[in-house]
Amino acid sequence: MTAAAMSLLRLEKVCKGYRLGKEDIPVLRDIDLEVERGAYLAIMGPSGSGKSTLLHILGCLDAPTSGRYWLNGQAVHEADATALAWLRNRSIGFVFQNFNLLPRLNLAQNVELPLIYSGVPASERKRLVQAMLERLGIWERRKHRPHEVSGGQKQRAAIARALVKKPDFILADEPTGNLDSDTTREILKLFSALNGEGHSIILITHEADVAQAAGSMRILRDGRLSGADGK
């Protein structure tokens, strides 16, 4: 097995640019990143630094302009759209700032949805959904719709939905961006506990105190990634 195949993911000289008229505007420049299984990494950067662009690449939602990306030893940079969708679906549990729960479904149904899409039988779905809702502390809220629960409970449901398919890692985009500071602390505590249980987490944020909750931190500035010490 190669070194690239052993880590959870690895980016090598990843660049991404956008075409603006005749010009090519570089957004990500020579991003090198290696994330081990079981890591809890924060990527912090100010607005415009390229966080969303990097998130799209890490999340297999977009391909780099150049460079290489391995996820679980698979060459993402060589994947076509079908393979990307498969990787995304299998490997990544997304958590968003706006929760992205379906408003007409209750919390249990929101968590169950990815299992329905991937053809898990009903009895197994019931068992998995219950286990997740209990782990995330929202079993009592299972029959409530998103608008009937607090922001923290919405984010717990979204995390349950991300985890229910046992992804290789959670990719969280400003997951506390819409939460008050008490709830932010509560969700960060939850991420730490989940990481302690073996889940790999990559958290993208512009807030230093949120990033500091992670096990390690890299800083994105003008499309370049450096260590927490700025080197």
Does residue 52 belong to the site contacting Mg ion (CB under 5 A)? yes
Instruction: For residue 99, give the H/E element and its range.
Output: none
d(CA 139, CA 137): 6
Nearer to ligand ADP, 41 or 111 (CB): 41
Q: Which amino acid is at 56?
A: H
Residue pair 91/71 in contact by the 8 Å Cβ criterion: yes
User: How far is the first Cα of the chain from the last one, in angstroms, to the nearest whole number?
Assistant: 30
Nearest-approach distance from CB 48 to ligand ADP, in angstroms: 4
The piece of 18-26, 36-44, 122-130, 140-148 that touches ligand ADP (CB under 6 A) is 18-26
Q: Does 218 bind ligand ADP (CB under 6 A)?
A: no
CB 219, CB 198: distance < 8 Å = no
Q: Within 37-66, which residues bind ligand ADP (CB under 6 A)?
A: 45, 47-53
Q: Which is nearer to ligand ADP, 58 or 190 (CB)?
A: 58
Nearer CB in complex with ligand ADP: 48/215: 48
Using CB under 6 A as the binding rule, the residues of this chain from 136 to 195 that contact ligand ADP are none
Distance CA 54, CA 62 (A): 9
Closest approach, Cβ 61 to ligand ADP, in A, equals 12
Q: With CB cut-offs between 5 and 8 Å by kind, which of Mg ion, ligand ADP, none does residue 2 bind? A: none
Contact 108/164 with Cβ under 8 angstroms? no
Residue 199 in contact with residue 190, Cβ under 8 Å?
A: no
Total binding residues toward Mg ion, as defined by CB under 5 A = 2
Binding site for ligand ADP (CB under 6 A): 18, 20, 25, 27, 45, 47-53
